[in-house]
Amino acid sequence: MNDMPKIIIGLVIFLMLIGFPLWYNVANDKAGYVPDMELPDTADQCVRDTEWMRTNHMDLLNDWRDLVVRDQQRFEANQVSQQMEMSLSNTCMDCHDNKSTFCDRCHNYMGVQPYCWDCHLEPEEAI
Amino acid sequence: MIEKALTGSKRYWGWIGFLMIFIIIGALFYIRQYNVGLGVTGLSRDVPWGFYIAQFTFLVGVAASAVMVVLPYYLHNYKAFGKITVLGEFVAISSVIMCMTFIFVDMGQPFRILNVFLHPTLNSLMFWDTVVLSGYLVLNILISYVTFSSERKGIAPPRWIKPFIILSIPWAVSIHTVTAFLYSGLEGRAFWLTAILAPRFLASAFAAGPALLIILVLIVRKVSKLEIEDEPIRKLGVIVAYAMAVNVFFVLMEVFTGVYSDIPEHVHHFEYLYLGLDGHSKLAPWMWVSNILAVFSLVLLIVPRFRNSLNILVMACVAVFISLWIDKGLGMVVTGFVPNPFGEVVEYWPTVPEFFITLSIYALGALILTVLYKVVISIREQVAGYH
Amino acid sequence: MGFDRRKFLKLSGLTFLGFAAGSPARVFGQQDTTMVDSTATGDGTITPISGSRWAMLVDLRACNEKGGEDCDDCIAACHRVHNVPEFDDSHDEIKWIWKTSFHSAFHSQEHEFLDEAITHGNTMVLCNHCDRPPCVRVCPTQATWKRESDGIVMMDMHRCIGCRYCVVACPYGARSFNFRDPRPHIEEINPKFPTRMRGVVEKCNFCAERLATGKMPACVKACKHGALKFGDLEDPQSEVRKILGDGFSIRRRPELGTQPQVYYLV
């Protein structure tokens, strides 16, 4: 077992390397970083409660997608309207007309790349 | 067992390296295809399937042809095939893997391919094709592993494997039948709308596959110390002869029905294939090479004096393989689309990326086959006490 | 992630038509009012146009005599609302509705003494929304299907794996595949309708998205000469039904049994 020190040094180097993002952010005082998303000021209510949306918006969009495309139901009644079009581009982005500071900020933070935007169009943002 | 593939002569590693070069070149081209889309191929809305799907179709046949050694050996106890059966099964394994890779590279959205199992659609033959192909791969891996492990230990294979072997026989027929059904069940494509397509596919498969196996067995005999007698090779030659004769007969049936009935929709396809249509004739010269090779190979295969000479037999096998590759891997798929539903001729020819991606998949198949054959050769040499 | 789909369906079932009092102007404000048909009710709700078996009639005489060689109105309207790209290389081409010759569309049904006005003119072709669609039969993922309620053959671009079996199976050459990313090739993007991504198949959808919001198909609206008619064949009072009953019409490749729902008046 005279290789033990080498193994331990190797392990430490390995852990340091794979933990790099963690150490780096702690060192830069970013450990508690939360993305700051800009909410629309034109509307005060979303189609569902904010808390619920935060965790479930992707499922909602999936369900909307199937309802509209496959089940021929284009509108729903919700807390905002009795007849709301279930549409990412035409409903969600109507209020959240700031993809870069709303969708992208959190998606980038979470490291997810939804392919919605390969087809669906985001509103043009004033830069 | 697989560790036997990790040691080998310089020649072995040189061959592996040679194949790797083509695999890497093809992989680079595939990355480009993945990023740009299938626009890098010669395909179009008029010819939506081309080289990839044609290779898939051809190789399903090669895979199915393993049954031509499995059936005589296990069902009729034809002992002479004892040493080459596992070689045939390994051809099946590498062919099915190539088939699957060809399907993968042909997909517009390859990473959604599991949607086929997520939303199983019983009325789609594409669904059944994925099912039978995956099943055939599993069956062949299982059977070859179990039987070869027993052979290595010098014992008889366990009894429980027998039902799987029996099952693999109709299963082999099914993979090529379902592949033919992909084409022959389409009302809009007159060229394929023929009940003889599946039988014809099987006939050409049972010629091309064993022809390849003969060539491979002769190579194995040359590069290794394995003793494989002439008898199984000659017997395979007889199988190739019959299958090729039946295949040519079926093709003539198709040409007769298509041309003599004189229905424009049918005639046009044959015209395009063999003569050219509206001044477009990219396939015709290839098809004539295929026809000439077919006749040439038949002469060599049917005359016993020629067939029984291994040197001439191997020439016949090369001719059979090339002839059928042109017929199925080039002509059969594309001609179904020419002319298109508007009666217009839009030709197809594979592009450079398409060609290299195809080549790399063949190289991948050859690599898998090499590794599997290396294991068999090393272990058999060891058992025979050559090392 | 317990988002309950059942609950959703129930909720949705309670929607529109009668419950419209408080519908926000926001939704309605987006409507392209020039295209709205007379189905929007006074109180601001959106009423879909519904039918049991949609069909289209192409009046070849009206199309060729009044529209003529250079008329592209229906194509332009369709391709504009649906973000259909324009490619220079015909290999990459995407088409929903386009012109072809009578000979190409009807090569098994013509003879040399037919009225030249028709045989020398254009024939508009598009997806036939077959009653027995081969494309639907072959699709391995149900990414294309026939809508039971009104017969429209739909596409789900989210599910399509791009195997192109439907393109192969279609006897009418109606389907196109996105060989490349279409977006750079769309002149002016309509933000209300998605574009497509590379690697999926697309085709005419009989303007399902417009019918759902009370609008007639874009090509029908765009045709100044009334050469395209759209309606419900199950409704004996519909214009399309009456026209079909009054004269002789043909369909493309009827012998295949696919029952195309695009009819041509010659």
Closest CA to B71 of B152, B146, B143: B143
Percent share of chain C, pLDDT over 90: 72
Specify the pLDDT at position C119.
85
pLDDT of C22 reads 36
Distance (Å) from the alpha carbon of B342 to chain C's nearest alpha carbon: 4
Q: Domain range spanning residue A107?
A: 34-119
How far is residue B112's CA from residue B118's CA, in Å, rounded to a whole number? 10
Kindly tell me if the per-residue pLDDT of B183 is higher than 60.
Answer: yes
pLDDT at B39 (0 to 100): 96
Contact B344 C258 (CB under 8 A): no
SS3 content of chain C, % helix, strand, coil (to 5): 30, 15, 55
Contacts of residue B76, Cβ cutoff 8 Å, sequence gap at least 6:
none
CB contact under 8 A, A69 and C5: no
Chain C touched by A55 (CB under 8 Å): yes
* Tens-digit pLDDT profile for residues C249-258: 999 999 999 9
Query: How much is the pLDDT for C117?
Result: 80
Q: Give the type of residue at A107.
A: H
Chain C 55-114, residues with CB within 8 Å of chain B CB atoms: 90-95, 100, 103-105, 107-108
DSSP A26-95: HHTT-TT----PPPPSS-S--SS-HHHHHHHHHHHHHHHHHHHHTS---EE--SS-SSEE--IIIIIHHH
Express as a percent the part of chain B with pLDDT over 70: 99
Q: What is the CA radius of gyration of chain C?
A: 19
Q: Name the least confident of B31-35, B70-74, B380-384, C92-96.
A: B380-384
Whether the pLDDT of residue A46 is over 70: the answer is: yes
CB within 8 Å of chain C, chain B residues 297-356: 336-337, 340-344, 346
Distances (CA, A) of B37 to B52, B244, C63: 14, 38, 37
Decide if C197 and A94 are in contact by the 8 Å CB cutoff.
Answer: no
Residue C42: pLDDT band by 50, 70, 90 thresholds?
low
Both structure tokens of B62: 């090669």
Q: Is B85 exposed, middle or buried (0-12, 13-18, 19+ CB in 10 A)?
A: buried
Q: pLDDT band at C6, cuts 50/70/90? A: very low
pLDDT surpassing 50 at residue B374? yes
Which amino acid does the sequence have at B4?
K
The tokens describing C206, both together, are 């009989």
Per-residue pLDDT, A126: 55
Q: Which pLDDT value is given to residue B189?
A: 96
Do C251 and C260 meet the contact criterion of CB atoms below 8 Å apart? yes
Is B359 exposed, middle or buried (CB count within 10 Å of its CB: 0-12, 13-18, 19+)?
middle
| Cα→Cα distances B378→B1, B7, B226, C89, Å | 10, 9, 9, 54
Find the closest chain A residue to C3 by CA distance.
A59
pLDDT at C114: 86
Name the B residues in 36-75 with CB < 8 Å from any C CB. 36-39, 41-46, 48-49
Beta-bridge partners for C202: C176
CB-based contact C165 B126, cutoff 8 Å: yes
**Per-residue confidence (pLDDT) for residue B385, from 0 to 100:** 79
Q: Is A115 exposed, middle or buried (0-12, 13-18, 19+ CB in 10 A)?
A: exposed
A6 falls within a domain: no
Dihedral sign (CA C108, C114, C118, C122): positive
Asked if pLDDT for residue B177 goes beyond 60, the answer is: yes
Residue B29 has pLDDT above 60, yes or no: yes
- Distant-in-sequence, close-in-space partners of C95: CB < 8 Å, separation ≥ 6: B45, C84, C176
pLDDT of residue B206: 97
Q: How many CB pairs under 8 A join A and C?
A: 88
Position C9 scores a pLDDT of 42
Of B45, B103, B343, Cβ closest to residue C93: B45
Closest by Cβ to C141, choosing from B116, B188, B342: B116
Asked if C31 and C213 touch (Cβ cutoff 8 Å), the reply is yes
DSSP conformation class of C122: E
Determine the Cα–Cα distance for residues B65 and B201; give it in Å rounded to an integer.
11
Q: What is the ipTM of this complex?
A: 0.93
Q: Give the C-alpha separation, C15 to A47, whole Å.
A: 14
A94 belongs to a structural domain: yes
What distance in Å separates the CA atoms of residue B262 and residue A19, rounded to the nearest whole number? 74
| Chain C residues with a Cβ under 8 Å from any Cβ in chain A | 1, 3, 5, 8-9, 11-12, 14-16, 19-24, 26-27, 30, 45-46, 48, 145, 147, 149, 154, 156-158, 189, 191-192, 194-197, 212-213
The confidence score (pLDDT) of residue B358 equals 98
Asked whether residue A22 is domain-assigned, the answer is no
Q: Which comes out higher in pLDDT, residue B227 or B104?
A: B104
Which token pair is A107? 């998606």
Indicate the pTM of the whole model.
0.90
Q: What is the phi-psi region of residue A37: left when phi exceeds 0, alpha when psi lies from -120 to 50, beta otherwise?
A: beta
Band (C16; pLDDT cuts 50, 70, 90): very low
Quote the pLDDT of residue A29: 80
Question: How far apart, in whole angstroms, are the C-alpha atoms of residue B265 and residue B287?
Answer: 20
Instruction: Output C13 or B221, whichever has higher pLDDT.
Output: B221
Whether chain C has a CB inside 8 Å of the CB on A79: the answer is: no
pLDDT band at A42 (very low <50, low <70, confident <90, very high): confident
Q: Name the residue type at position B114.
A: L
- As a whole number, the mean pLDDT across chain A is 88
Whether C197 sits inside 8 A of A78 (CB atoms) is no
User: What is the band of C36 on the pLDDT scale with cuts at 50, 70, 90?
Assistant: very low
Phi-psi region of C217 (alpha: psi -120 to 50; beta: other; left: phi over 0): beta
Q: A5 is written with which tokens? A: 């020190």
Q: Which CATH class is domain C54-265?
A: alpha beta
Q: What is the pLDDT of residue A38?
A: 86
d(C-alpha B61, C-alpha A96), whole Å:
55
Mutation target for A interface from C8, C188, C205: give the one with most A CBs within 10 A: C8
Give per-residue pLDDT as tens, C122-146: 999 999 999 999 999 999 999 999 9
* pLDDT of C12 strictly over 80: no
Question: Residue C100 half-sphere exposure, CB side, CA atoms within 13 Å?
Answer: 20
Neighbour order of strands in the sheet with C262-265: C228-232, C54-59, C262-265, C249-250
Where b means 16+ CB within 10 Å and e means fewer, B204-241 reads bbbbbbbbbbbbbbbebbeebebebeeebbbbbbebbb
> Does residue A124 fall inside a structural domain?
no
Interatomic CA distance for residues C231 and C244, integer angstroms: 11
What are the tens digits of pLDDT across the range A56-88? 999 999 999 999 999 998 899 998 888 899 999
In this structure, what token pair is assigned to residue C128?
Answer: 């036939």
Q: Encode burial over C189-218: b for 16+ CB neighbours within 10 A, e otherwise.
A: eeebbbbbbbbbbbbbbbbbbbbbbbbbbb
Position A62 in a domain: yes
Contact residues, chain A, for C23 at CB < 8 Å: 81-83
Tell me what the mean pLDDT of segment B187-207 comes to. Answer: 96
Q: State the pLDDT confidence band at B387, using cuts at 50, 70 and 90.
A: low
Structure-token pair, residue B385: 């006490």
Number of domains chain A contains: 1
| pLDDT bucket at A47, cuts 50 / 70 / 90 | very high
| Chain C CB contacts of A119 below 8 Å | 157, 194-197
Task: Reduce the secondary structure of B210-274 to three states and give it as a string.
Answer: HHHHHHHHHHHHHHCCCCCCHHHHHHHHHHHHHHHHHHHHHHHHHHHHHHHHCCHHHHHHHHHHH
What length does chain C have?
Answer: 266
B337 CB neighbours in chain C (<8 A) are: 168
Q: Is B318 exposed, middle or buried (0-12, 13-18, 19+ CB in 10 A)?
A: middle
CB contact (8 A) between residue C95 and residue B37? no
Q: Which residue of C has its CA nearest to A42?
A: C26
